[in-house]
Amino acid sequence: MIMSIKKLMEIDSRYLYLVMLILVSIPIIQPLGLPIRPSDYAIKVYNFIESLPPESVVVIDAAQTAGYGAELQTQYVVILKHVLKKDLKLIIVSFSAEGPMLVDMAYEGGIISGKPVDPAKYGDVYGEDYVYLGYIPGGETAFVSFARDCWMTKTDASGTPLEELPIMQYCKTAEDWNVIIAFTGGNHEQRIAQWYNAYLVPLIFGVPGVSAPRMYSYMASGQVYSMLSSLIGAAEYEILTNEIGLAAALMDVLNLGQLCVVAAVIIGNLGYIVTRIRGGK
Amino acid sequence: MGAIENLLFGIFTLAIWSLVYRENIVYRIAEYFYTGFAAALILVQGWESAKKIALAPLLKGEYIWGLVFILAIPFILFFYKRTRPLYMIPTALLVGIGTGIGMRGAIHTQIIGQLAGSMRPLIQATPLDTLNTILITIGTFGALSYFLFTTNIRGPLKVIPRIGRIFIMAGLGGAFANTGMGRFANMSGVLLNLWNKTEAIYVIAGALIVIAIDVLRQRMK
Amino acid sequence: MSSYEGEIRSIAIIITAIVGFFFLIEYFIVWTPVNKTASNITAYGTVLLGLAGIVGIGNLTRFHLKNIFRQGKNWIPSIILLISLWLPLVLGLLYTRNHFIFSYIYNSIYLPTSQAFFAILAFYIVSGAYRAFKARNLDAAVLLIAGILVFMSNSPATGILWPGFQPLGKWIQDVFTAAGLRGITIGIAIGSVVTSLRVLTGRERRHLAGRGVE
């Protein structure tokens, strides 16, 4: 018995990978429709955006990357739809090199975006209700620069001078912002420092799962208003805004994948305990 | 996405995932392709930004922006042995800016902000909030003491870093769980597209055949 | 080593110190000429950082060209790297990222590759959880239990088994994760402030062609 448990403990990892792949592929072939319940954090973000007065300036930092695409891009799309629905002034800017490609993908639709987002469907006009300023390199230096002068790019992403875009009259410096929503996998502390701590602008993050643990201490101290965490945050927000999309469709796979890890931990520890009790190493 | 795009999606995804089977040249090619394009993407976007923010005003008469391009020349001169040291000048400027800005941000946000967040009245409106505040305060100072005191604390005070270590372990457990969630979120996006695209399924079938042949070869050896 | 490298390094250290301390002090000054100067310098720095990629590309090209000529390890993938680097780079610089080849490569190759890279870690998490995540002592047991509970709370489907998983997982993250990682955050911040001071005072010079640490 000990030998078979030992063999099980020393099984080639590739068999584990195969079992995991088969299990997480099941919901793609046969969706399970497992329930999703919005968390307090997603509800807080939703209520905040709902409570913004008309013509409030919402700045979105679309700093998502392809690697975190399934997490950040789904969050970006659902928040974008929510903000476009309301009578708000939306300024989109990217502080990551891939941001512009993914901002375009949101409008065109794509493998990590789901269906295309059409601002005209919500009655929004480019240049009056929303604008995309393009990519600004430089990390924290760029955060400082943009907060001090939102017109630093001189033109929007397609080359139109900012003077010709009426929406930019609402946004000259960070003091004009009502909220900033940043979708990013890194540089969170730098954004908190240069936006929240410097200007006390409410800051909402869309983060990948790997970055979420760091945000709890900042939310506890009030430096971050709230966050959407990973694909689950996007799915919860889709439920809240009634815009069911890609995130909700992927949740079954995510659920099963996590349960696979829990099962692996429990089986691994059971084997370890049994081996220890019966005198093995 | 057309047929060729689906095929490319399947090929490159499985090329990367072939690493879990074993190291191979197909993985290396995909990895190197990715690295090359990533580097190109950063400079292309950087140049686009430089054109908008600096070159356009320079051409309109704001000659101060010429300084930026002059300072960028040492980046090219870096590759000639004689002129390599000049690279230190723009680097020093960028490091100075980044260090100055970063330092004030770190102090305000991560030290003062976080310490202030830990120093709340212990008695809160509800018993649960009171318990949470007490735990957070104890945990924060315990974790700090575990890190900051480099000597081995003996005697009755050694319980403080021990408690800090327990909190850190619990925190890292939560961090591991969130990391796992994130990775499975990425995997879910990949799998959905792999299984829903016909051409990608052919690539999966091809990959399985290659693996089967390899397994048989290993057995025959 | 060039004859003037020492002098240039000294000038560079002085520049770092002046600029760094200027930005530190500017934080406390509310006076338009100083604040405007700081804003202008950060704007210049932003553009300069965007162009700094030139060095990375040059280094990559040099290293992989050498590898190809010597037919070193992975010399065939090195050819692929140089093609995937220079073709999009030239097209992107001449025609912007909207050139159809550039965006085609991004959407059809780079994006799936990127996602696959990040997703591959899911495999290793499963094997790590199976092999390494053992409750060998109290610390490991705490890590394990917290991890399992947070995993269960992150899977909303576990609400079917017991509705308490989600609030319990949230409590662990709001209290234990927040407290534990807060201590780590403060510790890291103190370390980064000390390192920054070393850089500004010239004791740390690794950023200047890698020579000299006091």
pLDDT at position A33 = 82
Residue ranges of B 55-94 with Cβ closer than 8 A to chain C: 64-65, 67-68, 71-72, 75-76, 78-79, 81-82, 84-94
Specify whether A91 is located in the same domain as A10.
no
Q: Would you state the pLDDT for residue C160? A: 81
- C133: distance to nearest CA of chain A, Å? 6
Mean pLDDT calculated for residue range C50-79: 93
Q: Does the CA dihedral A7-B24-C104-C49 come out positive or negative?
A: positive
Q: How confident is the model at residue C209 (pLDDT cuts 50, 70, 90)?
A: low
Its domain, for residue A22, covers: 2-30+255-277
Q: If you average pLDDT over every residue of chain C, what do you get? A: 90
Per-residue model confidence (pLDDT) at position A148:
95
Total domain count for chain A? Answer: 2
Judgement on whether residues A46 and A65 belong to the same structural domain of the protein: yes
Top residue of B109, B133, B136 to mutate, by most chain A CBs within 10 Å, is: B109
CATH of the domain at A192: 3.40.50
Contact A69 C114 (CB under 8 A): yes
pLDDT, mean of residues A40-62: 97
Residue A249 lies in a domain: no
Which of C155, C172, C175, C185 is the best substitution to test chain A (most A C-beta atoms within 10 A)? C155
In this structure, is residue A148 part of a structural domain?
Answer: yes
Taking the complete model, does pTM exceed 0.90, yes or no? yes
- How far is the alpha carbon of B190 from chain C, nearest alpha carbon, in Å? 7
B172-208 per-position pLDDT tens digit: 999 999 999 999 999 999 998 888 877 888 888 888 8
For residue C61, pLDDT over 70 is answered with yes
Per-residue model confidence (pLDDT) at position B1: 63
**Assigned domain for B77 exists:** yes
In a domain, B91, yes or no: yes
User: Is residue A250 in a domain?
Assistant: no
Flag whether B78 is in a domain.
Answer: yes
Burial of C87 (0-12, 13-18, 19+ CB in 10 A): middle
Residues 29-48 of B with CB under 8 A from C: 29-48
pLDDT at A130: 97
The average pLDDT across A12-32 equals 88
| CB-CB contact of A217 with B116 (8 Å) | no
Q: Does the pLDDT of residue C213 top 60, yes or no?
A: no
Q: How far apart are CA A267 and CA C129, in angstroms?
A: 10
| Cα torsion A19, A24, A28, A34: sign | positive
Work out how many domains chain B is built from and give that number. Answer: 1
Higher per-residue pLDDT: C159 or B177 = B177
- Residue C212 pLDDT class (50, 70, 90 cuts): very low
Cα distances (angstroms) measured from residue B178 to each of A213, A216, A230, B30, C8: 7, 12, 9, 28, 47
Q: C146: closest CA among A19, A262, A73? A: A262
Residue A240 within any structural domain of the chain: yes
Q: Under a CB-based contact definition with an 8 Å cutoff, are residues B46 and A137 in contact?
A: yes
pLDDT of residue B218: 85
pLDDT computed for residue C214 by the predictor: 46
- Of the candidate ranges A4-18, A171-185, A228-242, B29-43, the one whose mean pLDDT is the lowest: A4-18
- Complex ipTM: 0.88
Q: Does A117 reside within a domain? A: yes
Q: Is residue B136 part of a domain?
A: no
Residues A44 and A25 grouped into a single domain: no
- Residue A205's pLDDT band (cuts 50, 70, 90): very high
pLDDT, tens digit, 9 for 90 and up, residues C172-184: 999 999 999 999 9
pLDDT of residue C57: 95
Q: How far is CA C186 from CA A143, A215, B111, B117, in A?
A: 22, 14, 5, 12
Residues A54-60, mean pLDDT to the nearest whole number: 97
Sheet holding A226-229, edge to edge: A130-135, A89-94, A57-62, A179-183, A203-207, A226-229
State the Cα–Cα distance between residues B215 and B15, nearest whole angstrom.
Answer: 18
- Which one-letter DSSP state was computed for residue C66? H
pLDDT digits (tens, 9 = 90+) for A108-137: 988 888 899 999 999 999 999 999 999 999
Q: Are residues A205 and A89 part of one domain? A: yes
The answer on A270 and A237 residing in a single domain is no
Domain shared by A264 and A184, yes or no: no
Q: Which of A25, A67, A258 sits opposite B191 (nearest CB)?
A: A25
> Is residue A155's pLDDT more than 60?
yes
Whether chain C has a CB inside 8 Å of the CB on A270: the answer is no
Interface partners of C (3+ CB pairs, < 8 Å)? Answer: A, B
Looking at residue C74, its pLDDT comes to: 87
**pLDDT of A280:** 55
Q: Do A69 and A114 lie in a common domain?
A: yes
Contact across the interface for A13 and C127, Cβ inside 8 Å: yes
Whether residue A55 sits in one domain with residue A168: yes
Q: Both A14 and A129 in a single domain? A: no
Report the gap between the CA of A125 and the closest CA in chain B (Å). Answer: 23
8 A C-beta contact, residue A205 and residue A188: yes
pLDDT at residue A31 tops 90: no
C67 near B CB under 8 A: no
- Residue A70 forms part of a structural domain: yes
Residue A210 inside a domain? The answer is: yes
Joined tokens for residue A190: 């730098």
Residues of chain B with pLDDT under 50: none
Residue B109 and residue A223: Cβ atoms within 8 Å? Answer: yes
**Within this chain, do residues A240 and A270 fall inside the same structural domain, yes or no?**
no
Nearest to B180 among A67, A189, A258 (CB): A258
Which residue, A107, A106, A108, A103, is CA-closest to A133? A103
Domain span including residue B70:
63-119
Q: Is residue A140 domain-shared with residue A268, that is, in the same domain?
A: no
Which tens digits make up the pLDDT trace of A179-191?
A: 999 999 999 999 9
